Structure 1
Amino acid sequence: MLSLDAELGWGFHDLERLPIERVESGRRGWTVMLELLEEFDVPATWAVVGHLMLESCDGTHAQHPAPDGWFERERGEWQDRKDLRFGCDLVTALLESDVDHEFASHTFSHVLFGHPETDRELAAAELERSIEIATEWGCSFESFIYPRNAVGHRDVLAEYGVSAYRGWTPNREGARAVFDSMVRDQSLLVDPYIDDYGLVNVPASLFLFGFEGTARTLAESIWTDPMVALARRGIDEAVTHDGTFHMWLHPNNLTTERDDKRMRAILSYLERRRSESDLVVETMADVTRRVRQSRGVDGVSTRLNTEAKASWN
């Protein structure tokens, strides 16, 4: 399984210091990932920030109970950066893809649900606005990905009809992930389960861009790309064992052709292993349906189908 946090500028708008390369790579990475997933016919769960689906706004959002200054960057230095604030063209490309992707939510404005300053009212407003915009597009969502993996207000998700979320698995990125998997022989597989709110928690297995910078360059010079090695290991585990391997990334992680190469290597290996085994690629919606059915609860896939696409086209 592969999930993507699709956010453009909204993933960074609250930060004092911006990672400029990633901020400017969101559109590029989105397009590259769509092309690669089409090439290898891999369906993924795309969690989209709702604001990207607006055609325009004044940056005020007066009815939104966000804390003071939450939309300040949008009103200020990004006022003329529509490419960072809006993404109707990118969302349309996602919905028009020949691959059966799942459309999911990443909140309306990337509010961190797990932070203490995010109260229930704000969490509910983020979901309400996301549902409203999706409905205007003729879409709906049942899966939710927490911004920065800050899990919180699961009761609100359940109240608003969300069925699943991506849970956070500690030590599944960077050098620690490499050490645990390669040295300690720790499994990369996860077991999705129904939590105490009736939601299906689909834990993350591996963040595909957690080993970067000098460490990545050094590892590649004497060995190979560590993330490609871990992804292949996880895929192999999914072939031979009973469990789920859940990779994730942001489109803005693809800042150069070097990053494209990483994703191509992972997806091509996935394609090979899928062709020679009974490996199945699922979305979060597929996993949710499977887990619920195994527990005697009805589940309905929310993959985008022809009828859903036609409703907004």
Structure 2
Amino acid sequence: MGSVVISLDAELGWGFHDLDSPPSARVEAGRRGWVAMLELCAEYDVPATWAVVGHLMLESCDGRHADHPVPNGWFDREQGEWADREDLRFCPDLVRAILDSDVDHEFASHSFSHVLFGQPETDRELAAAELERSLELAREWGQTVDSFVYPRNDVGHRDVLAEYGVGAYRGRSPTHDGIRGLFDSTLRDRSMIVEPIVDEYGLVNVPASLFLFGFEGPARTVAESVWSDPMVVLARRGIDEAVDADGLFHMWLHPNNLTRERDDDRMGAILSYLDRRRAETDLTVETMADVARRTKAADGVDGTPNSVDGRATARQP
């Protein structure tokens, strides 16, 4: 049976706060895109994995986070330029909208403050602090976290995820760049089916197949004027391949990619096609946690949580 996963990096300002020149259009579009994606998922009854930056779950903070072991300057933008931009730093209303949706979305973690886990300056202490704080906030909201999406797909400290009971993460995609995937003949002909695997830490790597906003700017405008939206074409191809090959196709995006109506149209066209193919075939739509559970079951892996400090590890029977 073929399946499709959609994962979203839900971050608002935290996805850009460490950049010298954050992209203003995307920074300001985070809330509209979040609402638009929730509405589209509800319209087509498509569950997704929403990986949320933990800081967004707060109602307020002092902007310093003195007990958090980040490098000096990490919270400078929160304390300075964005001190009066609570709409970029907090969104308990949008988090609640995910949890209150009639669609059975997965609530996942995107760290606490969008620290890059794969960078040399991110030591194990910081990775653990980022994950622990995000899990604490999830528990306060009555949520458990089974999946993790690495900020900027910068994979690192997988042992920390395993120690704290996370079961799955989104791995890198061989065709993550939509432009190369379209115009490089080698990549254009490559399968978009991915294979989830249980790694050496007992985590399930659920690799991405396609970033849905990798083809933007003037090239997109030209392509749409003479053809159709290239990313819709690629997404449909991936969905069809999942049906034909009984495999997994994993799409991902940020809510802030939806900066205007044509971006909403792209996602509406993709979800509409997914819904139609699901009705016609035995295709299913899964979350990352769903994939992890069935992958571990197929591989005979026991992911039962340990009782030590509320953490968990995966164990072979």
Q: Which TM-score band (shorter chain)?
A: over 0.9
Question: Partner amino acid for 1:9?
Answer: G
Within 5 Å, which residues of 2 pair with 1:1-313? 1-179=5-183, 184-298=188-302
Query: What percentage of residue pairs aligned between the two structures are identical?
Result: 74
TM-score by length of 2: 0.93
Separation in 1 of the partners of 2:76 and 2:164?
Answer: 28
8 A Cα contact 2:167 2:303, kept in partner = no
TM-score by length of 1: 0.94
Question: Partner amino acid for 1:96?
Answer: D
Separation in 1 of the partners of 2:188 and 2:129?
Answer: 44
Question: Partner amino acid for 1:262?
Answer: R
Instruction: Note the alpha carbon deviations across 1:80-116, whole angstroms, 9 max, x for none.
Output: 1000000100000110000000000000000000111
CA gap of 1:268–1:158, structure 2 versus 1, over 3 A, is: same
Separation in 1 of the partners of 2:204 and 2:302?
Answer: 13
8 A Cα contact 1:181 1:230, kept in partner = no
Question: Partner amino acid for 2:120?
Answer: P
The Cα of 1:170 is off from its aligned counterpart by: 2.9
8 A Cα contact 2:232 2:266, kept in partner = yes
Residue 305 of structure 1 aligns with which residue?
A: none
CA gap of 1:140–1:219, structure 2 versus 1, over 3 A, is: same
Gap runs ≥5 in structure 1: 301-313
Instruction: Note the alpha carbon deviations across 1:273-303, whole angstroms, 9 max, x for none.
Output: 0000000100000000010110123468xxx
Question: Partner amino acid for 2:135?
Answer: I
Separation in 2 of the partners of 1:183 and 1:170?
Answer: 9
8 A Cα contact 1:48 1:105, kept in partner = yes
Residue 310 of structure 1 aligns with which residue?
A: none
8 A Cα contact 1:292 1:298, kept in partner = yes
CA gap of 1:114–1:56, structure 2 versus 1, over 3 A, is: same
Aligned length: 300
2:104 aligns to what SS in structure 1? coil
CA gap of 1:161–1:183, structure 2 versus 1, over 3 A, is: closer
The Cα of 1:181 is off from its aligned counterpart by: 7.1
Question: Partner amino acid for 1:252?
Answer: N
1:281 aligns to what SS in structure 2? strand
Separation in 1 of the partners of 2:105 and 2:57?
Answer: 17
Residue 311 of structure 1 aligns with which residue?
A: none
Question: Partner amino acid for 1:85?
Answer: R
Separation in 1 of the partners of 2:113 and 2:192?
Answer: 31
Question: Partner amino acid for 1:233?
Answer: R
Separation in 1 of the partners of 2:182 and 2:290?
Answer: 28
Separation in 2 of the partners of 1:170 and 1:43?
Answer: 24
CA gap of 1:181–1:285, structure 2 versus 1, over 3 A, is: farther
Question: Partner amino acid for 1:220?
Answer: E
Separation in 2 of the partners of 1:185 and 1:118?
Answer: 37
Question: Partner amino acid for 1:69?
Answer: G
1:245 aligns to what SS in structure 2? strand
Separation in 2 of the partners of 1:103 and 1:126?
Answer: 17
Separation in 1 of the partners of 2:175 and 2:206?
Answer: 16
